[in-house]
Amino acid sequence: MSKAAIVTGSAGGLGRGIAERLCKDGFSVVLHDINEALLNETVSDLKEKSFDVIGVKGDVSKRNDQFNLVKAAADTFGRLDVFVNNAGIEAVSPFLEITEEQLNKLFRVNVNGVVFGTQAAADQFMKQKTKGKIINACSIAGHESFEMLGTYSAAKHAVKAFTHAAAKELAKYKITVNAYCPGVAKTKMWDRIDEEMVKHSDDLHPGEAFEKFSSEIALKRYQTPEDVANLVSFLASDDSDYITGQAILTDGGLVYR
């Protein structure tokens, strides 16, 4: 029986790259997103490549949705081996303009979503009496707090803290919990970050915020979904069985920890 994985927020961007890589690694994959139209399109694309996938629409910030997502994976594929808490959103604003709505929205998706996904996956692994792997989307902003990204940085620091706490508590069940920390990728999320930073700046033009961050990368190129998927592929494999509680940077040399 092939292994089964769930990747939240996988209709596009880094999540899609991760889902496709896990398919290539031989996993049956549950794709998941709140954007149903894009999700259906991505599921069709991957099925055309003969990958074993299903799509489940859901909202990671709702605990019931996360448990239903895991149930769908178990009902379809008979088991779950890997849960990737990839879904996340960004917010860009000066610190003094951070709103109650911004805080609540980002923490609901980026933090609550990770907690509920981890709980749902761990519950399934324990029922199966098997080892399991939970892999969380952190960020360079989980190691370093960036100006204009205060709320996002705080949320990603929280993801790192929950990764550490869950790893300590779940180790006795042979469940590992790790996180991947991407840097600057040419995704729609980074397009929005660039746009907002330009809006709040007197001297930046469109594309320049992205260029500024990219120019500081030691390996002299921005990140691709494949760069992130390579790390997640390793963390999802048996080769990472002795690694837990780590938030691993995959940023081409931008933040050093």
pLDDT band at 15 (very low <50, low <70, confident <90, very high): very high
Q: What is the CATH number of the domain that holds 108?
A: 3.40.50.720
239 assigned ligand-binding residue: no
Decide if 256 is inside a domain.
Answer: no
Query: How many C-alpha atoms does 3 have within 13 Å on its Cβ side?
Result: 20
Catalytic residue chosen out of the listed positions 152, 173, 242, 256: 152
Which is higher by pLDDT, 195 or 219?
Answer: 219
Decide if 175 is inside a domain.
Answer: yes
Domain of 53, in residue numbers: 4-184+224-250
CB atoms within 10 A of CB 24: 12
184 assigned ligand-binding residue: yes
Instruction: State the total domains in the chain.
Output: 1
Decide if 122 is inside a domain.
Answer: yes
Decide if 121 is inside a domain.
Answer: yes
pLDDT for the residue numbered 24: 98
Q: Is the pLDDT of residue 113 over 80?
A: yes
Decide if 213 is inside a domain.
Answer: no
Decide if 19 is inside a domain.
Answer: yes
- 116-129 per-position pLDDT tens digit: 999 999 999 999 99
- 189-207 per-position pLDDT tens digit: 777 787 877 787 777 788 7
59 assigned ligand-binding residue: yes
Q: Is 180 a catalytic residue?
A: no
Decide if 219 is inside a domain.
Answer: no
pLDDT band at 181 (very low <50, low <70, confident <90, very high): very high
62 assigned ligand-binding residue: no
The CA distances from residue 172 to 9, 49, 124, 161, 180, in Å, are 29, 38, 15, 19, 22
Cα 187 to Cα 153: distance, rounded to the nearest angstrom? 18
